[in-house]
């Protein structure tokens, strides 16, 4: 049995009022879960590491048999991998690679005159935990000829197409002139790739937090 029209109108008005109240308190409305901005895709670049000799751990600033730490400002680069609704994704393979403190990649195709750093691994990989978290010990990125400072990321897993992207330093003066960074049209998406590298009291390394969001469309497939 249908309710009288006046009663139905009151119900709609009441529901709208409650929705505004919840929104004012920062509570997501039912059926309208807050969608996060998917992390933009960027190129893998010419220096993606390969070969069996690549060390595959999450510490880029030491190498097997090395006698010290890599040059540069050591930074803990950490964050989470999420879907567009903020749900954590476990078991995602996260890879990173970057040039050393002198601006040279530990890669045979980089033939620049910049010196190599024998204590810099330059590449790392790990799997996300149950809460979607990952953590690397790396260095604060430095400029590379023609590029703003950046760290390459590549994510892969069973349920989504691999995603390559790059992390930039928030507020760095070279960002706007970087052809890859500035080519991202959406301002929110572009800003999501730039994170601060901050000094934490009592810590012996900088801290940078980079959350990576996989789109809920063709990129991310759920069983």
The answer to the question of residue 189 being in a domain is yes
One domain, residues 62 and 144: yes
The answer to the question of residue 223 being in a domain is no
The answer to the question of residue 20 being in a domain is yes
The answer to the question of residue 119 being in a domain is yes
One domain, residues 136 and 194: yes
The answer to the question of residue 219 being in a domain is no
With contact defined as beta carbons under 8 Å apart, do 141 and 101 qualify? no
What does the pLDDT read at residue 187? Answer: 96
One domain, residues 49 and 20: no
Who has greater pLDDT, 197 or 17?
Answer: 197
One domain, residues 7 and 61: no
What does the pLDDT read at residue 52? Answer: 60
Q: How many domains does the chain have?
A: 2
Tokens 């049995």 sit at which residue?
1
State pTM to two decimals: 0.81
With contact defined as beta carbons under 8 Å apart, do 85 and 34 qualify? yes
Please name which of 116, 169, 111 lies closest in space to residue 145, comparing C-alpha atoms: 111
What does the pLDDT read at residue 34? Answer: 66
One domain, residues 25 and 68: no
Domain assignment of residue 10, given as a range: 1-32
Three-state secondary structure readout of the chain: CCCCHHHHHHHHHHHHHHHHHHHHCCCCCCCCCCCCCCCCCCCCCCCCCCCCCCCCCCECCCCCCCCCCCCCCEEEEEEEEEECCCCECCCCEEEEECCCCCCCCCCCCCCCCCCCCCCCCCEEEEECCCCCEEEEEEECCCCECCECCEEEEEEEECCEEEEEEEEEECCCCCCCCCHHHHCCCCHHHHHCCEECCEECCCCCCEEEECCEEECCCCCECCC
Q: What is the mean pLDDT of residues 145-170?
A: 95
One domain, residues 76 and 115: yes
CA neighbours within 13 Å on the CB side: how many for 159?
14
One domain, residues 49 and 95: yes
CATH code of the domain containing 43: 2.60.130.10
Torsion angle, alpha carbons of 172, 205, 155, 43, to 10 = 30
One domain, residues 48 and 28: no
One domain, residues 174 and 133: yes
One domain, residues 116 and 9: no
One domain, residues 163 and 125: yes
The answer to the question of residue 222 being in a domain is no
What does the pLDDT read at residue 88? Answer: 96
One domain, residues 80 and 147: yes
What does the pLDDT read at residue 67? Answer: 84
User: How many whole angstroms from its chain centre is CA 11?
Assistant: 44
Q: Which residues contact 210 (CB under 8 A, 6 or more apart)?
A: 77, 78, 79, 153, 167, 195
Residue pLDDT, tens place only, 100-142: 999 999 888 999 999 999 999 999 999 999 999 999 999 999 9
The answer to the question of residue 124 being in a domain is yes
Say whether pLDDT at 31 is over 80: no
């Amino acid at each position: 049995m249908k309710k009288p029209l006046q009663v139905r109108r009151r119900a709609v008005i009441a529901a709208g009022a409650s929705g505004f109240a919840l929104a004012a308190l920062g509570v997501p409305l039912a059926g309208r879960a807050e969608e996060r901005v998917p992390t933009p895709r960027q190129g893998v670049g010419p220096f993606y590491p390969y070969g069996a000799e690549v060390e595959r751990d999450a510490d880029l600033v030491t190498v097997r048999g090395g006698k010290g730490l890599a040059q540069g400002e050591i930074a803990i680069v950490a964050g989470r991998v999420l879907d567009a609704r903020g749900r954590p994704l476990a078991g995602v393979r996260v890879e990173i690679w970057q040039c050393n403190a002198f601006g040279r990649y530990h890669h045979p195709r980089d033939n620049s005159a910049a010196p190599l750093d024998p204590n810099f691994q330059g590449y790392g990989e790990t799997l996300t935990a149950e809460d979607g978290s990952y953590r690397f010990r790396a260095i604060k990125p430095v400029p590379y000829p023609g590029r703003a400072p950046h760290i390459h990321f590549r994510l892969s897993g069973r349920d989504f197409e691999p995603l390559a992207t790059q992390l930039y330093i928030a507020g760095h003066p070279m960002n706007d002139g970087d052809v890859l960074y500035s080519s991202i049209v959406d301002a929110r998406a572009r800003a999501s790739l730039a994170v601060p590298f901050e000094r934490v009291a009592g810590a012996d390394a900088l801290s940078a937090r980079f959350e990576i969001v996989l789109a809920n469309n063709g990129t991310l497939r759920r069983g």
